[in-house]
Amino acid sequence: MSLLNSKLEARFAILSMFLLCSSLHRFEISPIVTTIAVLFSRGKVLIGLIYSTPLIALFLIWSLLLGGVERIITFIALMSVGFLILGLKPEEVAYALMFFRIPPKIAYAICISMRFLRIAFEDLRNLLGILSIECRGFRRYSMLLKALTSISILRSFSIAESLYSRNFDLNKRIVLVRKPKIIDFLLLASSIFVFVLSLI
């Protein structure tokens, strides 16, 4: 199951993300937000959380030292909502942002960063497979960090060169938008319900 394919419509997903993130000001809502993200992504959020285990462990240690368990649960809920959006097609997200009157430069910058994150996830998956054979422990993570940093720099240069060579223009891009399905309406309705619940 791939983390980066979603059947959700981008405008509904962005509205739902905004509502779910806005409802996280109350700690009790965080498990509900995570559950909604997992259910509507059909388990793909769980894959993203599994890949992010080292980051979650680091944040867990930090939050236990400085503030308690509430922060880690809220952090996991934020990551879940982020993975819900990350599974969308970047072009659809850019169009949805422009639909909500976000300037095209910002929308396409987010689109490019989403593409870069997809490439970084694939590189991370490949590096984890290679480094699991070679080494163990802290050495594995330090080699992983060095390799991922150098690969990310090379990938960012290649993306910039690709945009330059194709003579990228903000005004020429036209994206077709999918029609909302029942699952999109259910996601938005559950997000509204959680948001109203957090206000009570």
DSSP string, 34-90: HHHHHHHTTTHHHHHHHHTHHHHHHHHHHHHHHT-HHHHHHHHHHHHHHHHHHTS-H
Q: Which residue has the higher pLDDT, 167 or 195?
A: 195
Q: For the chain, what is the radius of gyration of the CA atoms?
A: 18
pLDDT tens, position by position, 73-123: 888 888 888 888 887 888 888 888 888 888 888 888 888 888 888 888 788
CA distance 192 to 32: 12
CA distance 177 to 170: 17
Cβ atoms of residues 90 and 23 within 8 Å? no
Among 4-8, 42-46, 100-104, 179-183, the range scoring the smallest mean pLDDT is 4-8
Residue 174: DSSP 8-state: -
Residue 104 falls within a domain, yes or no?
yes
Looking at the structure of the chain, the number of domains it has is 1
CA distance 60 to 57: 5
Residue 3 falls within a domain, yes or no?
no
What is the domain extent for residue 141? 10-199
pLDDT at 99: 86
Task: Using the predicted structure, report yes or no on whether residue 3 has a pLDDT greater than 80.
Answer: no
Among 1-5, 47-51, 78-82, 114-118, the range scoring the smallest mean pLDDT is 1-5
Residue 192 falls within a domain, yes or no?
yes
Residue 29: DSSP 8-state: G
Residue 44 falls within a domain, yes or no?
yes
Q: What percent of the chain has pLDDT over 70?
A: 88
Dig out the tokens for 160 from the structure. 């910039």
CA distance 95 to 139: 43
Q: Which residue has the higher pLDDT, 5 or 129?
A: 129
Dig out the tokens for 186 from the structure. 């259910």
Residue 1 falls within a domain, yes or no?
no
Name the residue among 79, 72, 75 with its Cα closest to residue 38: 79
pLDDT at 195: 92
Task: Using the predicted structure, report yes or no on whether residue 134 has a pLDDT greater than 70.
Answer: no
Burial 16-46 (b: 16+ CB within 10 A, else e): bbebbbebbeeeebbebbbebbbebbeebbb
Residue 69 falls within a domain, yes or no?
yes
